[in-house]
Structure 1
Amino acid sequence: MAERLRLMPGAEIPETMLGIGDDAAVIERREGPPLLFTIDSMVEDVHFLPDIPAEYAGYKALAINASDIAAMGGRPLAALVSFVAPRQTDVEWLDAVYDGFAQAASFLETPLLGGDTAVGPRIVLTVAMLGSCPDTAPVLRSGARPGDVVCVTGRFGGATGGLRILAMERLIRKPEEDYGHPGLRLLDRHLKPQPRLEAGRRLAKAGATAMIDVSDGLVADLGHVCERSGVKMTVEAMSVPIDVDLEAVADKVTHNVLETALTGGEDFELAVTLPPDAFKKAAAAVKGTGIPLTRIGVVEDAASREGDDVLVLQDGEPVRFAQPGWIHFEGK
């Protein structure tokens, strides 16, 4: 779909702007830092279950847009929200969604400037967010170079673990009885993602060459960077940091912990490429935000080998997955 939009007549982008292909569009200005603009929608029964507490849906809708800003090394400035819902939707549910918007806006220090409402066949939450890069140039997906190291913030698989618990428990009845405190923390990872805004800015200052937030799945999103940068990557599977709470309840939520971590998606961590000599400085900078930065692989010349853009190795052998992550418009 993005490629179709890129090729549409009249879709030419002025030289002062960067359009389709990154986590956010970039608008250069004659004076002041460049602006970032992003938009995301969450659709009922696609991106969230209809029976979750409504405030979580509102919170997440704002947070995932902030994660796009984080992936550019920026900070959010303001947001607009749009709400589509069936006519019979309970007013208290709608109020709770707006409470979630307000909680996220306060946490992210991002004012809500307004928005729109409409009646439709199912609930759709859309957020448009404006940001800026006051300290560095925006970090794009297209800057990875052969020899760079591939790194990630945080740990992986927790959000997918939380989704699976939620799907099994549905009304979040009492998951602590079946999954204990690890299960509750996994639910929180899924329902209230934490955009890595400060980490993104510190990585930009440390010399990040490319960056993306991990929403579709780590392997899939690294593939997006490879596509934009014209490179390939090799990832050491055992180097990928896995959510300890996922490992604690793995027998109840997944048949394959590694696959869940590498392809599950919605962790909203940052995947970043760095020159090798910048890693130590970047890791120290990110550690100051309370999360780790882990080296998991290397960027290679696209002509160095045949096959997939992202090669995952375990004990020196290629690891294959049914799919690398979320596939848009197929809903899986």
Structure 2
Amino acid sequence: MTVATAGEFGLISRVTARLGAESPYVLLGPGDDAALVATPDRRVVASTDVLVEGRHFRRDWSSARDIGHRAAAANLADIAAMGGRPTALLVALCAPANLQISWAEELADGLAAEAAKTGAVVVGGDTSASPTLTIAVTALGDLEGREPVVRTGAQPGDIVAVAGRIGHAAAGYTILSRGFRSPKLLVEAFRRPEVPYHLGPLAARLGATSMIDISDGLLADLGHIATASDVGIDVRRNAFTVPEQMRDAATALGVDPYGWILAGGDDHALAATFPADTELSAEWLVVGSVLPASPFTAGDGVTVDGRRYTGGAPGWDHFR
């Protein structure tokens, strides 16, 4: 059965039937003109991402469930990077009329399963016919009484730390783009990010001065913090250990694995700055330091081992 056969409301009925999770934040879920979500903090953290087939995903590379996980993770990570706890997702699906209804159902399963990792649920959305398969997700979150961790707070003397996998998804993308399907660890990292959601609110409690999720590349995303905070950031290349499977894949493909680690995106790890005396758990890896702004750090404000990065683009840019 295709979405055209099911019709708009048949599609909506089949998809919402698979989103049956409950949450204390959701007072009214799918089925009315709008959902009703509680805001105990009286402030709402909100973020939106769009995934377009051929630009962000390929159906011959990833299952519908994988793509659902990815679409949800891209948004839920943004909430965590503000120090918030995700509460709800809104999803818009624009699809060709000949899309199999089972594909949309499996997409819903992936979205719901990824949201459940954070305690969030899918509360509604929209559908439309489109020649290009497109998924737009909006995430909502609660700060639980804390101030948001924004990009403008990094201070000279802070340490820079990363939590979560880094470089794995970029390696998986390169492997898939070369026509291979292994190593499985790296390919699966591209298909389904593993985001340390719980560490976002914990970083806020520890006094993180700034935070961002690594969606476009470590150097590019740290550049956003450097620019917003008017500081420089220096990253130590030797802070990172290249996993064996990544090293072997890089050798086989003739690429520098540090390009994946420093400039690859889609892992949605968290990068944050903390006062130098902060005691971090083993889940955080200290990778650099915050410096005063200077002419040398002008531009994106990020250096590697004290020098400008020369390994190519520091991250992803949709319009470059």
Q: TM-score, with normalisation over the residues of structure 1?
A: 0.79
Q: Which moved more, 1:202-211 or 1:240-249?
A: 240-249
Q: Please, which of 283, 295, 302 is the counterpart of residue 293 of structure 2?
A: 302
Specify whether residues 86 and 30 from structure 1 end up closer, same or farther in structure 2 by C-alpha distance, changes over 3 A only: closer
- Residues in 2 aligned to 1:226 and 1:317: alpha-carbon distance in whole angstroms: 15
| Structure 1 position 229 matched with structure 2 position 260 | no
Give the alignment of 1:1-332 within 5 angstroms. 32=41, 34-51=43-60, 52-169=62-179, 175=181, 179=182, 183-253=183-253, 255-278=255-278, 281=279, 283-284=280-281, 287=282, 292-303=283-294, 305-308=296-299, 309-313=301-305, 318-330=308-320
Q: Determine helix, strand or coil for the equivalent of 1:118.
A: strand
Higher-helix-fraction structure:
1
Q: Is the 8 A contact 1:74 1:200 kept in 2?
A: yes
Q: Which moved more, 1:62-71 or 1:148-157?
A: 148-157
Report how far residue 254 of structure 1 moved: 5.0
Specify whether residues 104 and 254 from structure 1 end up closer, same or farther in structure 2 by C-alpha distance, changes over 3 A only: farther
Report how far residue 114 of structure 1 moved: 1.1
Question: What CA deviation, in whole Å up to 9, does each residue of 1:254-308 have, x standing for no partner?
Answer: 5111112100111211111111011xx2x22xx3xxxx31111111111363545
Structure 1 runs of 4+ with >6 Å offset:
none
Q: Is the 8 A contact 2:160 2:271 kept in 1?
A: yes
Name the structure 2 match of 1:3. Answer: none
**Pairwise CA RMSD:** 2.1
Q: Which moved more, 1:206-215 or 1:237-246?
A: 237-246
Specify whether residues 93 and 169 from structure 1 end up closer, same or farther in structure 2 by C-alpha distance, changes over 3 A only: farther
Q: Which moved more, 1:320-329 or 1:36-45?
A: 320-329
Q: Determine helix, strand or coil for the equivalent of 2:277.
A: helix
Structure 2: runs of 5 or more not aligned: 1-37
Specify whether residues 134 and 73 from structure 1 end up closer, same or farther in structure 2 by C-alpha distance, changes over 3 A only: same
Amino acid at match of 2:209: T
Q: Which moved more, 1:144-153 or 1:241-250?
A: 241-250
Amino acid at match of 1:195: V
How many residues are aligned here?
281
Q: Which moved more, 1:185-194 or 1:261-270?
A: 185-194
Report how far residue 243 of structure 1 moved: 4.3
- Residues in 2 aligned to 1:257 and 1:30: alpha-carbon distance in whole angstroms: 43
Q: Determine helix, strand or coil for the equivalent of 1:205.
A: helix
Report how far residue 62 of structure 1 moved: 0.8
Q: TM-score, with normalisation over the residues of structure 2?
A: 0.82
Amino acid at match of 2:221: D
- Residues in 1 aligned to 2:220 and 2:249: alpha-carbon distance in whole angstroms: 25
Specify whether residues 75 and 266 from structure 1 end up closer, same or farther in structure 2 by C-alpha distance, changes over 3 A only: same
Specify whether residues 98 and 31 from structure 1 end up closer, same or farther in structure 2 by C-alpha distance, changes over 3 A only: closer
- Residues in 2 aligned to 1:33 and 1:277: alpha-carbon distance in whole angstroms: 32
Report how far residue 320 of structure 1 moved: 1.1
Name the structure 1 match of 2:12. Answer: none
Q: Is the 8 A contact 1:155 1:243 kept in 2?
A: no
